[in-house]
């Protein structure tokens, strides 16, 4: 098994799926055998991007055991967010823009983590460093990832590097970044075909905050009441998830992509402490988070400090 698999985290988002495709393509261009795969279902936003630029979703796998001897991780590094069996294969590379936690390897590796808003911004640099042209359809995927992760350049995670990369990629892909970006985000925020069970796993990541096992899930919506009006049913599912998975906290965030605010439903023994970390009250199991849109920069750091 000489082929290396390239994949992002479980419950994949647009950056995870497209960066796996893009980096596998890049590796192929420099003569290495690589295949992009995914660890979960493709969401509506990502499907919109794949369809727009003519790509099929990568092959779905659940475990890397028997699939490959070497793997490359994009858009994540924490083992609990990665493929089953990750400890049994060699991690050859990591390309990421998140914190580093719960990660160790037996062998040296190429590790590239930069404090930018999106993995695709780093990948664009790697194309340039290798003197490779970016095809229009690949540029479209990379632009889609940046738009998704930065909420069309409005997220506090967005840097000048992301904006510059996005503008350059939009020219290569021959799309209007504002028009295309809003259409893609709205496609992802259309929750009409999603059950509450779907929403819980759509973009959920497991974290260890101190001694507390936690899940932080996030969904984008045009109207957050589409979700919050079903809170009673939602809480039943959250409590079930907490009990079945031994969680201390399930922090379910609904983000308004038009007004750039969020509301979280928090369940678990440390839910009150989590709310206090934001200087807020837990009322009816809700935490109002004005101006909060980024899990990476505005939610996870606060929970890390509050629950340490």
Give the annotated binding-site residues for Mn(2+). 9, 13, 15, 75, 97, 149
In order of 6, 74, 77, 81, the CA distances from 71 in angstroms are: 6, 10, 12, 15
CA distance 13 to 57: 12
φ, ψ (nearest 5 deg) of residue 155: -75, 150
Question: Which residues neighbour 37 within 8 Å (Cβ) at sequence distance 6 or greater?
Answer: 5, 6, 7, 20, 58, 59, 60, 61, 67
Range 266-305 burial, b when 16+ CB lie within 10 A, else e: bbbebbebbbebbebebeebbbebeebbbbbbbbbebbbe
Question: Which residues neighbour 156 within 8 Å (Cβ) at sequence distance 6 or greater?
Answer: 293, 294, 297, 298
CA distance 294 to 284: 23
Annotated binding site: 9, 13, 15, 75, 97, 149
Of 205, 203, 202, which is closest to residue 78 (Cα–Cα)?
A: 205
- Number of continuous H segments (helices) and E segments (strands) in the chain: 11, 11
Token couple for 112 = 């590239």
| Residues 308/258, Cβ–Cβ less than 8 Å | no
Bridging pattern class, strands 249-256 and 261-267: antiparallel
Helix, coil or strand: residue 193: coil
Rg over alpha carbons for the chain, rounded to the nearest Å, is: 19
In order of 84, 90, 106, the CA distances from 216 in angstroms are: 19, 28, 29
């Amino acid at each position: 098994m000489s082929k290396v698999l390239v994949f992002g985290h479980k419950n994949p988002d647009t950056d995870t799926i497209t960066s796996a495709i893009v980096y596998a393509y890049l590796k192929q261009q420099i003569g290495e055998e690589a295949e992009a795969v995914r660890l979960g279902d493709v969401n509506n936003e990502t499907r919109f991007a794949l369809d727009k630029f003519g790509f099929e979703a990568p092959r779905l796998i659940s475990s890397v055991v028997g699939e490959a001897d070497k793997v490359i991780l994009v858009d994540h590094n924490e083992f609990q967010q990665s493929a089953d069996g990750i400890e049994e294969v060699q991690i050859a590379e990591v390309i990421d823009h998140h914190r580093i936690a719960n990660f160790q390897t037996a062998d040296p590796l190429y590790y590239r983590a930069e404090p930018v808003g999106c993995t695709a911004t780093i990948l664009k640099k790697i194309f340039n460093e290798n003197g490779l042209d970016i095809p229009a359809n690949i540029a479209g995927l990379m632009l889609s990832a940046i738009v998704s992760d930065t909420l069309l350049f409005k997220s506090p995670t967005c840097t000048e590097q992301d904006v510059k990369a996005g503008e350059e990629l939009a020219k290569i892909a021959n799309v209007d970044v504002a028009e295309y970006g809003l259409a893609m985000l709205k496609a992802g925020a259309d929750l009409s075909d999603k059950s509450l069970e779907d929403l819980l796993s759509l973009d959920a990541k497991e974290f260890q905050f101190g001694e507390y096992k936690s899940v932080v899930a996030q969904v984008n919506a045009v109207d957050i009441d589409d979700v919050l009006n079903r809170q009673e049913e939602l809480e039943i599912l959250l409590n079930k998830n907490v009990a079945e998975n031994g969680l201390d906290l399930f922090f379910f965030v609904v983000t308004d992509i038009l007004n750039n605010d969020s509301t979280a439903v928090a369940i678990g023994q440390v839910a009150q402490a989590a709310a206090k970390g934001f200087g807020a009250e837990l009322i009816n199991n809700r935490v109002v988070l004005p101006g909060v849109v980024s899990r990476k920069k505005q939610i996870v750091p606060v929970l890390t400090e509050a629950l340490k």
